[in-house]
Chain A
Amino acid sequence: MNKISINIIFVITSMFSFQVSAYSIGDTVNSDIAEKLNLAKDKITLVDFFASWCKSCEKEIPGIKKIAQQNNINVIGIDVDDELSDGLLFQKKLNIDFPVINDTEQDIISAFKPIGMPAMYYIQNNKIIGKHIGAIDDIDLVIQQDLLAFEE
């Protein structure tokens, strides 16, 4: 293969962006991200991605708050608003009382790459053991069922 052919192949392949695949069930969370999330060692961590502009996320927050009051799960919210003030206002409006990381640079969510919002992941021992993408009714009941299923 001559040099010109190699150049042509290089230009053509560079035209396609290769997307790193999203986290799916069974994947291990990157150590940098695990450190940022401060994952619990002894129990399941529920990571909930939300934003002020996402109405479905807003609808799910009261259910997540109920779950956060339980002792058998560690809940971490990730606010992906790129404007910190919007995120803080949203958190204040909804009285979010579980720990929230303001991911204004969106580097945590870029690692997870969910295909929609809201996005929720269950992590245990740095491994994704479950996830829900998109709006879900009665999220607290769904999470309870998931937790029972994980225990089995």
Chain B
Amino acid sequence: MIKIIVFLSSLTLLHGCSISKVQPWEKGRLANEDMRFGGPNPMIKKFDEHIFTSKETTKGGGGVSGGGCGCN
């Protein structure tokens, strides 16, 4: 009986770890500038670009044309 209770409790707790899918119309917040690494801070953005350039030996392409809607 204890085993079953532990099993059910574990399942219930695991259920709490599940996340609901973000719907296409709920992506407004994700499209905000502050959702990027470093947010609106230009220094962190520059630092991030420097890491990318050093690692990938290429630069540019950091901008996004879409607004997070996943449509292009």
The residues of A with any CB-CB pair to B shorter than 8 Å are 4, 7-8, 11-12, 14-15, 17, 49, 51-57, 80-83, 86, 106, 109-110, 113-119, 134-135
From DSSP, what is the main secondary structure of chain A's interface residues? loop
A70 to chain B minimum Cβ distance, whole angstroms, is: 25
Cβ-Cβ contact count across A and B, 8 Å cutoff: 77
Residue of B nearest to A7 (CB): B8
B72 in the interface (beta carbon within 8 A): yes
Chosen A-B contacts, 29 in total, with CB atoms closer than 8 Å, are A8-B4, A11-B8, A11-B11, A15-B14, A15-B15, A51-B25, A51-B67, A53-B27, A53-B67, A53-B69, A54-B66, A54-B69, A55-B65, A56-B67, A56-B71, A56-B72, A82-B28, A83-B28, A106-B26, A110-B23, A110-B25, A113-B23, A114-B25, A115-B24, A116-B24, A116-B69, A117-B24, A118-B71, A134-B71
